[in-house]
A = this chain, B = another copy of it.
Amino acid sequence: MQRSIATVSLSGTLPEKLDAIAAAGFDGVEIFENDLLYYDGSPREIRQMCADLGIAITLFQPFRDFEGCRRDRLPRNLERAERKFDLMQELGTDLVLVCSNASADSVGDEQILIDDLRLLAERAGARGLRIGYEALAWGRHVNTYQQVWNIVRQADHPNLGVLLDSFHTLSLKGDPSAIAQIPGDKIFFVQMADAPILAMDVLEWSRHFRCFPGQGEFDLPGFLAPIIKSGYTGPLSLEIFNDGFRAAPPRANAADGLRSLLYLEEKTRQRLAEEASAAGNADILFATPPASEYDGIEFLEFAVDDNLGAKLSHWLERLGFVKAGQHRSKNVSLLRQGDINLILNSEPYSFAHSFFEAHGPSLCATAVRVKNSASALERAVAYKGQPYRGLVGPNELELAAVRAPDGSLIYLVDQQADVYGTDFNLQPGAVIGAGLKRIDHMAMALPADSLDSWVLFYKSLLDFEADDEVVLPDPYGLVKSRALRSRCSSIRLPLNISENRNTAISHALSSYRGSGVHHIAFDCDDIFAQVSRAKEAGVPLLDIPLNYYDDLAARFDFDDEFLSELAYFNVLYDRDAQGGELFHVYTEPFEGRFFFEIIQRKNGYAGYGAANVAVRLAAMAKSRSGGLRHAKL
């Protein structure tokens, strides 16, 4: 499949955009007219630049408000078209996007539209050029692909074809299935854009909130599948108007764009296979090994130095972890409890050490258990993931790994692998079955503009799913959170961002000098037993205001004794509509960096206690500012 992207999707000057597009591996580019107007070089120079970079100019766009224009303006509009045809010939592209007329004084008479477009196609054809006619969602008279195809069919000119854009159909809740009935060679071009579902004016939504496939909420495989069924084999192009993209570094953003197309192709291929459609040319779509099944987190690795390693080890022991092993040759130790394995790495000249140098004490690697690590790695690499091979000493197990967007590692570990026996001298008598059972989730703090990139990374390389975004108040701004999960939810990863400077998320980011895990939640069966033990062992727990418990009393039918117990242990409570219950408690942060959460889920509670995030963030703000505690009970 020829993969293309419109220049308007990226930030920068035209040469910066073209460079990024070529570097990402696109085959072609749509030249958005304004990018050309603002560039201080001739169309011929742009043509040469693209040729040098090995990318085709797939489309010139847009040409607006032509068909059905006020009759006295038609000659002037044809003159305008001829000027743009000149430009296209200099650029060396044969296809122009004509979008449906949006002006208030345009006429809707179908025969006029047909005649105007046939006339334009005739003019274009005389110069070997072609017209792709597109329905804008806010077109004055034409705003569906069905109308476009009806007009194109009747105009019946070889140089006039249909141009499809997913946004314009899906934003109006259009049904794309009838696209399959359009002859594939009468579809001249396909533009793909995703978007979050927003209840707002469609023009504003389109101009500011589009995103790459897989980052939004549209069913794009459901849009591409009938296109493939039609027999279309032309370019698949991204046209993304997005305020954030206009400022994002163009190279990284273009790389995300290509990854999003591959992801869309894979999902479309699956959709076609499920439908058992006889779409022979589904083979033009990207194929890669399916994602592995996941079986939770094998281990987490922390980058520390000797001093902080000892401190962290002491913290974890107070939480019930046991020193279970020491690396045979490296300054690396293993702590265990239940199904949880935590590795503390202070080995010099290691990956962990470089990570520590860059980010301070932090989570530098996450090992996920997979059914087949080889195919998991193959998939990650096919999605342009960066595989990692570190120094491996004698008697060390080699683990497949890929870099996460923040530079930390994601190890892909086979379920049956003996991860620790090879590398570690294990403590034979260590009791590891204490009260914390498994890692429930790890929450990450990300720079505000990188959330979509992370979501795409996990969706494509690891085939994770993403929950809906929630917005939560911190005392100093808003925090947005979107949780990623492996299918079956054995791995959960809420991603948090904030656009404001003084929120907990922004503090985490600045302390890390980059993204990072800011808390890790451990699951248990009896929260009060666990918290009681932690409290006795001296684990500093985040203090929750009594007013919170007064409100619980107003909202739920708890007896006073139970409420007192919740308050005494600083346990937060939530209940979902189905009667699922969550109990959870937070520690103070370790060295001002990351903190831990002890969590108990009852009756299938699936969330993360969003109702309690605001009180937690307020308590953290107070704790940061070192305020005196309110005496309790």
Binding site for B on A (CB under 8 A): 11-13, 33-34, 36-43, 76, 79-80, 83-84, 87, 198-201, 204, 243, 246-247, 473-478, 499-503, 543, 545-548, 550-551, 553-555, 557, 614-615, 618-619, 621-622, 625, 627, 629-630
Contact = CB atoms under 8 A, between A and B. Distances in A.
Given A12-B475, A243-B499, 16 more contacts: A12-B476, A33-B551, A36-B547, A37-B547, A37-B615, A38-B545, A38-B548, A38-B614, A38-B618, A41-B545, A42-B547, A83-B550, A87-B550, A198-B200, A243-B478, A247-B478
A550 B499 CA distance: 41
Contacts of A43: 547
A246 B477 contact: yes
Nearest to A543: B40
A473 B247 CA distance: 10
A84 B619 CA distance: 22
Contacts of A41: 545, 630
Contact of A619 (B36, B38, B548, B618): B38
Contact of A500 (B34, B247, B478): B247
30 contacts: A11-B477, A13-B475, A13-B622, A37-B547, A38-B475, A38-B547, A38-B614, A39-B618, A40-B546, A40-B619, A40-B627, A40-B629, A41-B545, A41-B630, A42-B546, A43-B547, A76-B557, A79-B554, A198-B200, A198-B201, A199-B204, A200-B200, A243-B477, A246-B473, A246-B474, A246-B477, A247-B476, A247-B478, A247-B499, A247-B501
Given A199-B200, A543-B40, A500 B246 contact: yes
Given A13-B622, A477-B246, A40 B545 contact: yes
Identical copies of this chain, number: 2
Contacts of A622: 13, 40
B83 A34 contact: no
Contacts of A40: 543, 545-547, 619, 622, 627, 629-630
Nearest to A549: B37
A468 to B, nearest CB: 14
A11 B506 CA distance: 15
Nearest to A623: B40
B83 A545 contact: no
A243 B472 CA distance: 11
Contacts of A502: 247
A199 B33 CA distance: 28
